[in-house]
């Protein structure tokens, strides 16, 4: 990890690479460790740094601001979700699933007819009777 130091208006500012920011954010989201603990652990000077990084990089803070931990509602950054959900790909997938569903309905109907025909021609019960023990 390469932290850059810049001096702006007499103050030294730390600049972190995006990979480091993502690592810290994901540790926060996946483990539930407090932001303050992570700030101390990694020596991050600004108290609102993690919060600003999350907003800038498209992550959603899943923990309640009042301090209650209701668990993780989302674990992937929003930017990754928008990349993977191409509308054309989703429409193609829906069409494919609709075709699979139609095929399964036809197969189910074919089995029903085969069973009915076998019961009539062979005069044997194939389906299970519900009142038997």
- The rounded distance, in Å, linking the Cα atoms of 114 and 104 is 15
We find that the CATH architecture of domain 4-84 is: Orthogonal Bundle (1.10)
Return residue ranges of the chain for CATH 1.10.10. Answer: 4-84
pLDDT at 74: 44
pLDDT at 73: 43
pLDDT at 47: 82
Closest among 56, 59, 57, 61 to 72, alpha carbons compared: 61
pLDDT at 71: 46
Q: Extract the tokens encoding 24.
A: 């810290």
Tell me 8's DSSP state: E
pLDDT at 9: 80
pLDDT at 65: 55
One digit per residue, the tens of pLDDT, for the chain of length 133 reads 566 676 778 777 778 888 888 998 888 888 888 889 998 998 888 888 888 888 888 888 877 454 444 444 444 555 554 555 578 888 888 998 999 999 899 999 998 999 899 889 988 888 877 676 6
pLDDT at 70: 45
């Amino acid at each position: 990890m390469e932290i850059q130091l810049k001096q702006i208006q007499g103050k030294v500012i730390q600049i972190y690479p995006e990979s480091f920011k993502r690592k810290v954010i994901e540790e926060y989201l996946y483990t539930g460790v407090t932001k303050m603990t992570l700030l101390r652990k990694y020596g991050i000077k600004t108290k609102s740094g993690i919060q600003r990084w999350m907003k800038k990089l498209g992550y959603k803070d899943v923990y309640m601001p009042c301090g209650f931990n209701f668990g993780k509602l989302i674990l992937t950054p929003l930017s990754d979700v928008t990349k993977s959900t191409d509308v054309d790909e989703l429409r193609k997938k829906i069409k494919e699933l609709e075709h699979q569903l139609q095929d399964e309905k036809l197969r189910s109907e074919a089995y029903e007819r085969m069973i009915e025909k076998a019961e009539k021609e062979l005069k044997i019960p194939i389906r299970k009777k519900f009142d038997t023990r």
